[in-house]
Structures are given as structure tokens and as C-alpha cells.
Amino acid sequence: MNEINRLREEHPKMIYIAFPGDEKSTGGCVAAGRGFFHINSHGGAEPCPFSPYSDINVKNTSLLEAIKSPLFTALRNSDILLDDHEGGCVLYEKRELVEALINN
């Protein structure tokens, strides 16, 4: 976090998000299209690099449609992204819940 804080101080017009780390100041996890999502090497749109689940592929759809995927929508509409966690990734810690969403 020291490097992020230095960058924020030196470049105040830029937005820097650290994860894990900034969940409290951003109102919860920024994953699943709530700020960003991860695209894996096969084109799968994943909530984040630590939560490797995908229900849509950007090779077959637009980024805007990917953000609206059923998985991302379910995650944003649930309380999972707002939950406290042990300092790592909330989606990784609650992977059973994420897997249940993708298997519905």
C-alpha cells in the first residue's frame, strides 16, 4: 500500500485501486463489473483474477454485454461483494457461493 499511497499523492488526478486493500474505501469489492473485471487468456470474463469463474466470453460478445452477464449481475445484486473478509479476496473466500451462482 505504500507504493499506491505514493502514486496517489504524486498523481492526484489518477485513480489507483489496490486489491485487496481498498474494499472498505470503495464500498466493497470492485470485482464483477463494479469497477473492473478480469479477462482470462481464453477470453472468459471473470469477476477478478482471484475468482476464476466465467459465464461469458468476450470473443463472442462486447465488453458491455460481458459486464451485464448473469454471473456479474448476480454478484452485484447479492451482498457477497460487500462482505468483510480475512484480508484476501472475498470472492475467493466465498468461492462456494460464487460456484453456486454460476451453476444456477
pLDDT digits (tens, 9 = 90+) for 8-45: 999 999 888 776 677 777 777 888 888 789 999 999 99
What residue type is 4 in one-letter code? I
Cα 85 to Cα 90: distance, rounded to the nearest angstrom:
5
Residue 88 pLDDT grade (very low, low, confident, very high; cuts 50, 70, 90): low
- Report residue 82's pLDDT band, with 50, 70 and 90 as the boundaries: confident
99 backbone φψ class: left, alpha, beta (φ>0; ψ -120 to 50): alpha
What range does the domain containing 73 cover? 2-102
- The domain tally of the chain equals 1
Q: pLDDT tens digit string along 58-69?
A: 999 999 999 999
The DSSP letter of residue 45 is E
Q: How far apart are CA 7 and CA 29, in angstroms?
A: 21
Q: Cβ distance 21 to 4 under 8 Å?
A: yes
Q: Which residue has the higher pLDDT, 81 or 57?
A: 57
